[in-house]
């Protein structure tokens, strides 16, 4: 794929206009003025990035049951959306189908029956990269947890949520409430030819 207006000019383009070129690992839109010589900086005017994805990827899942298991991926019961099929609600794991930058968000409710805490971690290939915590000094409370992260992933990387620490608490949910939500999407794919 051409990497500049100079490349396009070299392969025979003569009519000025808008073109897509490959710059690093992204598709870029440029205006090429072919009335200019190839060594003139006015030959190419950068317009912006093209939002190109070879596989659209986004998901939204919810829980309908309480969960308290430490150190295991949190499974989900409802799949509201799973474009690209990268999220497995049963295992609770997302597998990156393409190399690029992804965004993930988790919102949840912890029930703290007695004074205690609940920590939920965002994991990538078994390594914690983010954490949300709720705690209570009195007990008998429901507390919210929220976690967002923008991360770079390679093809095949796995992302999931898990309870890291818990004392007198668990993720609260039921079929009418769906308090716990996990969503994610591909922001930018790193393209290669």
Closest C-alpha among 187, 169, 174 to residue 115: 169
Place of tokens 């690093």: 24
Note the pLDDT of residue 140. 86
* Rounded Cα gap, residues 99 and 42, in angstroms: 33
* Rounded Cα gap, residues 135 and 151, in angstroms: 27
* Rounded Cα gap, residues 73 and 143, in angstroms: 21
Q: In what order do the strands lie in the sheet with 44-49?
A: 17-23, 26-32, 44-49
142-192 per-position pLDDT tens digit:
999 999 999 999 999 999 999 999 998 989 988 888 899 999 999 999 987
Q: What fold characterizes domain 58-189?
A: Jelly Rolls (2.60.120)
Instruction: Give pLDDT < 70 ranges for the chain.
Output: 193
Note the pLDDT of residue 175. 82
Whether the CB-CB separation of 163 and 69 falls below 8 Å is answered with yes
Q: Give the HSE-up count for residue 11: Cα atoms under 13 Å, Cβ half-sphere.
A: 7
Place of tokens 């898990």: 162
Report domain extents, the chain: 5-49, 58-189
Whether the CB-CB separation of 104 and 148 falls below 8 Å is answered with yes
Note the pLDDT of residue 125. 99
Neighbouring CB atoms inside 10 A of 84's CB total 16
What is the percent of the chain where pLDDT is above 70? Answer: 99
Q: How much is the pTM?
A: 0.84
Note the pLDDT of residue 38. 85
CA Rg value for the chain: 23
* Rounded Cα gap, residues 147 and 183, in angstroms: 11
Whether the CB-CB separation of 78 and 178 falls below 8 Å is answered with yes
Q: What 3-state DSSP class applies to 103?
A: strand
Residue 140, C-beta contacts closer than 8 angstroms, at least 6 positions apart: 112, 113, 114
Note the pLDDT of residue 193. 60
């Amino acid at each position: 794929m051409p990497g500049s207006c100079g490349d396009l000019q070299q392969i025979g383009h003569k009519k000025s206009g808008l073109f897509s070129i490959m710059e690093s690992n992204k598709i870029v839109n440029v205006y090429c003025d072919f009335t200019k010589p190839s060594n003139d900086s006015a030959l190419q005017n950068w317009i912006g990035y093209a939002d190109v994805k070879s596989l659209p990827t986004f998901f939204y899942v919810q829980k309908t049951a309480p969960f308290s298991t430490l150190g295991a991926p949190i499974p989900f019961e409802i799949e509201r959306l799973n474009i690209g099929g990268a999220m497995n609600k049963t295992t609770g794991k997302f597998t990156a189908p393409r190399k690029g930058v992804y965004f993930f968000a988790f919102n949840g409710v912890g029930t703290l029956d007695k004074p205690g805490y609940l920590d939920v971690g965002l994991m990538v290939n078994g390594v914690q990269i983010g954490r949300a915590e709720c705690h209570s000094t009195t007990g008998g409370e429901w507390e919210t947890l929220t976690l967002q992260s923008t991360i770079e992933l390679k093809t095949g990387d796995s992302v999931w949520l898990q309870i890291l620490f818990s004392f007198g608490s668990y993720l609260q949910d039921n079929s009418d409430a769906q308090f716990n939500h996990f969503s994610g999407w591909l922001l930018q794919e790193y393209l290669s030819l």
